[in-house]
Amino acid sequence: MKLYVHDKCFEKIFELPKAIQKKVLEFQKKFRTNSKSEAIHLEPISTFRDPNMRTARIDQKYRAIIVAPKKGDTYFMLWVDNHDEAMDWATNKIFDWNENTQTAQIFTALETEMEKPVSAAVKKQSLFADLSDEQLLAIGVPSQSVNLVRSLRDLDELSAAEKYLPADAFENLFYVSEGANVELLIAEVNEGKTKSSDIEEQVESINNQRNFVRMDDKLMEEIINGELSKWQIFLHPSQRKLVESNFKGSVKVTGGAGTGKTVVALHRLKHLLSLGDLLDKRKIVFTTYTNALTNNLTVLAKKLNLDESKIQIINIDNLAREIANGAKLVSKETRVLDTPNSKPSFELWDELLEQNLSEFDTPFLSGEYQNVILLNDIQSEEDYLKVSRIGRGKPISRKQKMDIWKLVELYNKKKATNGYIDRSELYNKVATFNKTIKERPFRFVIADEIQDLSNVELRFLRSLVEEKENDMFLVGDPYQKIYAKKLNFSAAGISVRGTRSKQLKINYRTSEEIKRLALSAIKGVNYDDFDGEAEKLNGYLSLFHGEQPTYQVLKTKNEELDALVAQINSLKQANYSLEDIAIACRTKDAVKEVKNHLHKVKIAYRDISNSADDGKGVVLSTFHSLKGLEFKAVLLADVNNRTSPLYFSKFEEMEPQEKADYLNSERSLIYVAITRAISVLKIFGTGVKSDLISLSK
């Protein structure tokens, strides 16, 4: 016989004590051997609304909720809990096999009045008045729920009806309410179905794998040993399609925070490893922008049991330097400007202007060099005179360009004399070199958090692999663009237009309430999809609700720090571990103040910006370092009108477009910080509230 386990049941199993998890392991072994054994105690319960639901005994205290088939030998395990809680969970649940979508659906039984036909007048006012009954059924609405859907007039009523609808049906209805084309949704559903009419094969459809996985001993043992997490097992059909599809070239995947972009990229890595051209010994490279994210990816990749000899997970700066050193493009002693433990390029420009008079100041010249000359890999005065400067503010004359180029030449000589190279200059050198060699360095390229990159890094990534099927898988969120860099795939020589630009929409991480607050921080700002079009978050849906975030402004810093401690203690009383909690600030100085206070009151902490700090406790971080991570509870501290957005000393010297780009990146940064929270978000500050935080609905 076959036993399929629901994803929510897995979540519950993860929470059970180890001793009970082992009993669940033994139970499912016995059940799959003989489901009719007296020791199983598979019993119908007269009070259950669904007559096909059964209880089964795990031990004297715990029960499993099982759906027995009307025919055949396929069972579904929906829940595991204490006896009374398991009974309460199952009492009003309905389990239904939906032939239209090939999915097993679970939802709360409808109240009697919800099943009654609605009048023509009500149908006209319905949120879904334009959809036929056939279309509703095709996107997953159970036949008994059609009248309920017809009665819904707005999003609030749809949200209130969520528990009475299967998850896939609610999701598709939400998309329709946000303007999605219903025929495209139906096509996506059909793509996730098998062609077989055999129910035993339909249970293995991509659509059904979203919520159910077939149980075996190895799977359960890995759960009990702590080797598995839910993300390793379950993929939404839209995610699985991206993971397993064969693409004619490069692919761009975007999505809001929490939509599983990194999970998809990791599963894509696993899939690409399975495509093996045994004669191609080159590795697959998986890269991202920050060291913290790279370390996190390394940990996650190990959980997928990937062959480490065939992959390289590396920070993109380290990768560029590694290739440059190997090809002897720079000496090992060369230092890269604007990187940790090196000199800021601003200082070199300041020194240069102390010795050379110019009508231009350091911010302008540095911006011109980085955002025009290096961005476009300009190598000569002739090319500089011809290149476009769109976005650089006021135009400059040909004569001024010639004067700037003379200063650039002096700047380059100064760098060479002192053993420096600009970061973007290094990338350009490596990209140019890679195009000259017979075989590119890697089989495939996967890059996460691509919104942190610029065209310079994109050209570098393009140079790492020849153009071919599945060559590049590039993942990011335009709304998390916290660095004001210019990014355009077409300009970087990467074609991802049309069917090779994909978007994920389901937020698995944060509650709907936290998601709404995050979106309010970026409201009214147009974000580019990296290819000249506007990125839209229509249909960006969180799958669960939670408590409302709060924003508390105190009079003094000591009061704020005491409020943070009180919140930590409150969370501990609610059974949150210290490791479940993160405190993040915009600046390093603010993090230091929190650290000193926690030390004073003897609360354990771990500063993730310090790679040597591997201790346990509340996680401390800047907003930037929090990127790519998630916590059950996030406390944002020192949030006020001075820090969010943060106005630094040279802000007023920036060009108008640079100012606008910077302020947009500050909005993205608070969006990133907010969306690290899974269920609890508390914001603290002193003085005047930040305009970026709006708690109104």
pLDDT tens profile 244-259: 999 999 999 999 888 9
Query: Do residues 489 and 496 make contact, with C-beta atoms less than 8 angstroms apart?
Result: yes
Give the separation between CA 238 and CA 243, rounded to whole angstroms: 9
Helix (H) or strand (E) holding 62: strand 62-67
The Cα–Cα gap between 474 and 448 comes to 6
Residue in 655, 641, 642, 694 with CA at minimum distance from that of residue 671: 694
The three-class DSSP label of residue 683 is strand
Q: Which pLDDT score is estimated for 697?
A: 46
Q: Taking each helix axis as running N to C, give the angle between helix 455-463 and helix 316-326, from 0 to 180 degrees, rounded to the nearest 10.
A: 50
Question: How many C-beta neighbours within 10 Å does residue 442 have?
Answer: 24
Single-letter amino acid, residue 345: S
Give the per-residue pLDDT at 586. 95
> How many Cβ atoms are within 10 Å of 638's Cβ, its own excluded?
26
Give the single-character DSSP code of 677: E
For the chain of 697 residues, list the mean pLDDT of each consecutive stretch of 10: 90 88 88 82 91 93 91 90 95 95 95 86 92 96 95 92 94 90 93 90 92 83 71 85 92 91 94 81 92 86 90 96 96 92 92 93 92 94 92 87 96 95 97 95 95 93 95 92 81 83 87 90 81 75 86 96 97 94 96 96 89 81 89 96 86 77 89 94 95 78
3-state secondary structure of 322: helix
pLDDT of residue 435: 94
Helix (H/G/I), strand (E/B), else coil: 197: coil
Residue 611 confidence (pLDDT): 64
Q: Residue 17: which residues within 8 A CB-CB, separation 6 or more?
A: none
